[in-house]
Amino acid sequence: MNRQFNHHYTRDEARELLPQVGSWLREIQDLQLELVRCENRLGSILSQGDDAGGPSVNENVRAVARLHQLTREFNEREIFIKDAERGLVDFPAIIGGREVFLCWELDEEDIEFWHDIDSGFSGREPLSS
């Protein structure tokens, strides 16, 4: 059978990653806020005709580099960030012989839902225990 993904997570495998994934998601959310603050500072500096160098640019570069590093962590594991602001991620899985996503949101205690690859969050179905 032709599969889209190289790795498919069991519920237990995905559960084991939740503390790390949650930590990365919170850091991504913080970095996104930091980038907005940097953009506002730099925009203010540039609008006044000043050169934009030094600490403001360095902070921006560090935040972008870390964001790329975290994104790479997800990509290497084939864990898909669907909405960083909400903390929504999908883990490829096989359920009933079908390739699907295990779906988890940052405020959820456990992985309790799945959805078809094409249906997205609106098609979430509860996992049986």
pLDDT at 14 over 70: yes
pLDDT digit string, tens, across residues 21-72: 999 999 999 999 998 888 777 666 656 555 556 666 778 888 999 999 999 9
pLDDT given for residue 54 in this prediction:
65
pLDDT given for residue 123 in this prediction:
81
Q: Is residue 28 part of a domain?
A: yes
Six-digit token string for 14: 């995905």
Total-model pTM: 0.85
Q: Is residue 71 part of a domain?
A: yes
* 116 Cβ contact partners less than 8 Å away, ≥ 6 residues apart: 98, 100, 101, 123
CB 46 within 8 Å of CB 52: yes
Which residue segment(s) compose the domain that 54 sits in?
11-126
Q: Is residue 1 part of a domain?
A: no
Q: Is residue 64 part of a domain?
A: yes
Q: Is residue 89 part of a domain?
A: yes
Question: Number of structural domains, the chain?
Answer: 1
Instruction: Label residues 1-21 b or e (16+ Cβ within 10 Å = b).
Output: eeeeeeebbebeebeebbeeb
Taking residues 101-119, report their average pLDDT.
94
pLDDT given for residue 58 in this prediction:
79
